[in-house]
Structure 1
Amino acid sequence: MDTDTDTDADVALTRRLAGGDRAALADAFDRFAPTLTRYAWALAGSRQDVEELVQDTFLTLWQKADTLQLSTRALLPWLLVVCRNHARNQARAVAGRAADELPADLVAPEADQEARARLRWVRDEIDALPPLDRRICELCLIEGHSYTEAATMLGLSVGAVTQRVSRSRARLKKAVTHDEH
């Protein structure tokens, strides 16, 4: 399919969803779930969290279908943003539960120092990247900007940012598994 046909199909699918057509939700799931699942794996660390993100994204689509307005006429970018927002909420909830489980005065200083050392090691690995790759990692992986936002800030294409992040993640993953910090 070409891009115009895809966006026309997205607009038609969105209209069907807005009309309460349950088959449209199934069609949206069949069409976008594989892509959303791959994206969710970049945001979450467990199969359960990934499945929850995808499910929450489609639930949000269903709940907001009647008010949904696609600025680009394409549904996938909207779904990816919703998925990212659910991932951020999920991370905040996990962090909140962790904070509730261990009061700050009961956290072992050794554990705190170990966590800081691990983060320092990751930060050192990022600092060793070429300047542009380092800045992209800071924007996308540390500050939480989308690839599109980072591309706009740096005057690059989204594809270039995606490729550089992927390459940097692979380098960091290799360093972690090879060095076992």
Structure 2
Amino acid sequence: MTQTPSQDIADLISRCALRDRAAFRTLYERTSAKLFGVTLRILKDRSEAEEAIQEVYVKIWQRADRYVAGNTSPISWLVAVARNHALDILRARRPVSDDIDVALEIPDAGPSPERATQDNQERAQIEQCLGTLEPDRADAVRGAYLDGYSYEELASRHTVPLNTMRTWLRRSLIKLKDCLSA
């Protein structure tokens, strides 16, 4: 009776569990290309995959007695060993989280407390000066210089001619400049 390739590999694994070196050599010859492909696909580095495949076969030699014929196909079991080992290597690559004290050395990208205070004071002063303008003029200034509306859009929004809007904005900016410099 002729064995299928799957039964043949299962037999080789069983003989490896009995520490049959010749069976192990044959198993390696028949399956190493496939398992190397699995580790290479996961690790994406040829030299690392070559090293990993050696470790995979050490695991297969040590754990051959854990393979139970009939539960899974022998090649699936071998691929699982290779895959799990390659994933373990990937997990080990991740940097170990540093101590929280290292975070104290990372500069804050935001403004310094002094700069934030100064910005808040300037913002409050601008708001106070905007409050001295007529409400529609202040709204037009905010629309033009904070919200990015065009003069045409503001003229339409406030139902005034375009030149009137230009005059509003020019005069409002002059008032704001005087207020801010006072």
Query: TM-score, normalised to structure 1's length?
Result: 0.50
Indicate the structure with greater helix content.
Answer: 1
Query: TM-score, normalised to structure 2's length?
Result: 0.50
